[in-house]
Amino acid sequence: MDTLIAALRSLLPHDSVITDPVRLRTYECDGLTYHRATPGVVVLPGTAEQVARVVRLCNDFGVPFVARGSGTGLSGGALPREDGVLIVTSRMRAILEVDLADRRAVVEPGVTNLAITEAVRDRGYYYAPDPSSQQICSIGGNVAENSGGAHCLKYGFTVNHVEACEIVTPDGDLVTLDRMDPGYDLLGAFIGSEGTLGIATKITVRLCRAPEAVTTVLAAFESIEQGGQAVSAIIGAGIVPAAIEMMDALAIEAAEAAVACSYPEGAGAVLIVELDGPAAEVERQFAQLEEICSAAFELRVAADPAERAAIWKGRKSAFAAVGRISPAYIVQDGVVPRTSLPAVLAAIDRLSAEHDIKVANVFHAGDGNLHPLVLFDDGDPGAGERAEVVSGAILDLCIEHGGSITGEHGVGVDKSRYMPKMFSADDLDTMQLVRCAFDPQGLANPGKVFPTPRLCGEVPGVRKGVHPLVESGKADQL
């Protein structure tokens, strides 16, 4: 490591290499603070060429490296390696180009999600994917996680809004993956690969035109079942709102304590429904929505942008707000078909009672993406373990109902153990084949996503022979 550090210092400006043990601790975890490791060394490159040089050096030394944006990830994806280099993109924050004629912007990976919208808002444009962490999270992290957000129901996830990425490959080459490239969809493979296929150094994003009209509605229901039924009815009626978010009574209590959002008193669940588009269409959809939400005991419509922001304030602050009512909590992320929402929520209730662990539900209801917040007192012996059991059982429920172990927070280090429950050995084997094609040495963010890290060339999993894709000539084993 000492020789590597000396080599890094010769490649990068003096203040771009961090080895001071106290400063290294800043980087020991991401938003999932349960997993921690002190990085061997942290580098803060200022250019793509510097990133490439660092990665090439890691290859020369056979040392693993992990990319980090803003460290808001919730699955331990940016967890560093004690024997490795953490490459942090926070100094790469330039918006390089805004091309409104082609509705594109070209940005460096450390640019925050919200900064893109702020750069074009005055001219009537915005960047659509909006994670609740959008004020801080980086676009590089969004690409790596294929991040979503409240408005992804209508507009799609990061993968639908990225046109091209310049990346440093795991062996240190600087290449561009473009949606227009013929052949394999390498850009599609890269987005959501959680830093295992290289490091994004320049990202071309799609810009959307701000809609003509926006109507934001808060519907308060006595029970979460009524809220869940309204979600299915809205989509069933052919309406695709920009967002449908739901919070249960416990999540509302937390949000009230944190930001005094003044949601209707006594609500068992609130739905936030945002309609946007041409004014005439929004007006017609609102009339339908009023009818569908007839079981709501209060329907509040934002009269202006300030009231809209007030409605969103409770939802956007919900994760952090839970800290007001519980000393510790796990943020879970799973997906179920919308129609299973009432059954799954009832089952979560039962799990909560059975293990004496409270669960607050906040979620992107429109796309069935649950974010149960599993609350526990870390001072109470055994509570953390019970919370882990509930959290894992929620993922089992998602799989049983035909859903997924992650909607948008990724697999990282946290959920790799659940991958074999959702994917067969052959599926995992095929994913590994893709990973090895990009990273034969296995140096890019090793130990993440896959249940047991394997080296390329090893016979993976249960398969003993040549992979069927290789045998058929459809893929190469590197």
Ligand X SMILES: Cc1cc2nc3c(=O)[nH]c(=O)nc-3n(C[C@H](O)[C@H](O)[C@H](O)COP(=O)(O)OP(=O)(O)OC[C@H]3O[C@@H](n4cnc5c(N)ncnc54)[C@H](O)[C@@H]3O)c2cc1C
Q: Which residues contribute to the site for ligand X (CB under 6 A)?
A: 30-31, 66-74, 77-78, 89, 109, 131-133, 137-138, 140-142, 144-145, 147-149, 194-195, 199-200, 319-320, 408-409, 445
User: What are the angstrom distances between the C-alpha of 434 and each of 58, 175, 428, 430?
Assistant: 21, 17, 10, 7
CB 410 to ligand X: min, Å: 6
CB 5 to ligand X: min, Å: 21
Residue with structure tokens 């991401």? 30
> CA–CA separation, 72 vs 75, rounded Å?
9
CB 66 to ligand X: min, Å: 5
Identify how many contiguous H helices and E strands the chain contains and give both numbers.
Answer: 17, 19
Instruction: Tell me the residue number closest to ligand X, measured at CB.
Output: 141
Contact 68, 194 (CB under 8 A): no
Phi, psi of 350 (to 5 degrees): -65, -45
CB 132 to ligand X: min, Å: 4
CA nearest neighbour of 207 among 98, 95, 94: 98
Contact 425, 461 (CB under 8 A): yes
> CA–CA separation, 457 vs 377, rounded Å?
45
Contact 191, 205 (CB under 8 A): no
CA nearest neighbour of 77 among 207, 213, 195: 195
CB 395 to ligand X: min, Å: 17
CB 408 to ligand X: min, Å: 3
> CA–CA separation, 256 vs 355, rounded Å?
26
> CA–CA separation, 140 vs 29, rounded Å?
17
CB 276 to ligand X: min, Å: 18
